[in-house]
Amino acid sequence: MNWITRIKTAAERIKTAIRKRATKSEIAASKYISCHGVPTEKKVIRENNFVCPECNFHHNQSPEQRFNMWFGENNWKKIDSPKVADPDPYRWEDTKKYTDRLKESKKITGQDNAILSCEAKLNNIDVVVSAVNFKFIGGSISMNEGENVLASVQTALEKKCPYIFVSASGGMRMMTNMLSLMQMTRMTIAINELKKNNLPYLVVIASPSTGGLQASIASTGDICIGEKGATMAFAGRRIVQATTKSELPDNFQTVEWQMEKGQVDMVLDRKDITPTIGTLLSILLKKNKSENIDKNDSLIENPTQETKQAS
């Protein structure tokens, strides 16, 4: 056996030994998901509201799945929003065309944009809820997402009811450049209208919540609830480390760390978020008093809820 044959034989052995990396479609088709270092049945995760029953890791949950969990199937009404005439004004193209990315994301998520909003009742209180789908181009925000938030806030103003925002975003969508960044201001102005009308605005931080959305309306809630283990940040950990030249704690940029610093009011397991929001809204709006009066007298003394404008 000459050296060329030996090299060929060794290469074939290496090729056989190295496991082929699964494609996205293969991962999606598999009945298993990787969790705490072992394969776990997706069915088990799904039946537990996408939370691992063994390690309590909170897996990604789509807005539709979250709404069904919170309100029950067919117990919520989708809010339609205006669509911009040209979603790709810059004719953006990197490894693929932006228009192709939009088509792919719409097919994967079944949504027109990264935000799904609805009207529903929580603890017998009318609410408007918007949730970001991270699987729609990383939950990034552009013109159509801004329109969705504005339409949802307008619905809350008309119904004179609370607005709840569930954040799970990588930030602004740079394929649309400044038109994306403008949504930070537009959405914040809309939230300020809620505050002028003394309507509660609650934010739920799901993982990950970063970038421009975190720098705007995800940080301006009257009450901020972190979903256990969620990432909450603006810039990435490595960027902060390189900029500050300092060691960062292991739990840096988690909602647990943010609660220690005063950015988050409470951190809850996914199953506890809905009943907690229901109780908070009952107190803030002085609804269902008989259930809350003994426990929360000190929190409902003031007849009018005063909230500060977002900066």
Report, as an integer, the average pLDDT of 230-258.
88
How many whole angstroms separate alpha carbon 277 and alpha carbon 236?
A: 29
Structure confidence at residue 271 as a pLDDT band (50, 70, 90): very high
Write down the H helix ranges in 172-288: 177-196, 211-214, 237-244, 255-260, 270-284
What is the per-residue pLDDT for 243?
A: 86
| Position 300 pLDDT exceeds 50 | no
Percentage of the residues of the chain whose pLDDT score is greater than 70: 84
| Position 215 pLDDT exceeds 80 | yes
What is the per-residue pLDDT for 20?
A: 63
What is the per-residue pLDDT for 305?
A: 46
User: 207 vs 132, 150, 169, 210, 230, CA distance in Å?
Assistant: 10, 23, 8, 9, 4
| Ranges 4-13, 158-167, 187-196, 288-297: which has the least confidence | 288-297
Q: What pTM value is reported for the model?
A: 0.85
DSSP secondary structure letters along 12-58 = HHHHHHSPPPPPHHHHHH-SEEEETTEEEEHHHHHHTTTB-TTT--B
Domains, the chain, with CATH or none:
22-59 (no CATH), 60-299 (3.90.226.10)
Q: Which amino acid makes up residue 119? A: E
Structure confidence at residue 302 as a pLDDT band (50, 70, 90): very low
* CB contact at 8 A, 51 and 35: no
CA 77 from chain center: how many Å?
19
| Ranges 1-5, 91-95, 134-138: which has the least confidence | 1-5
Residue 48: partners with Cβ closer than 8 Å, 6 or more residues away: none
* CB contact at 8 A, 293 and 247: no
| Position 6 pLDDT exceeds 80 | no
| Ranges 5-19, 112-126, 205-219, 257-271: which has the least confidence | 5-19
| Position 180 pLDDT exceeds 50 | yes
How many whole angstroms separate alpha carbon 139 and alpha carbon 108?
A: 13
Residue 9: partners with Cβ closer than 8 Å, 6 or more residues away: 1
Report, as an integer, the average pLDDT of 218-245.
90
| Position 15 pLDDT exceeds 70 | no
Structure confidence at residue 131 as a pLDDT band (50, 70, 90): very high
Q: Which amino acid makes up residue 94? A: D
* CB contact at 8 A, 231 and 253: yes
How many whole angstroms separate alpha carbon 237 and alpha carbon 233?
A: 8
Structure confidence at residue 16 as a pLDDT band (50, 70, 90): low
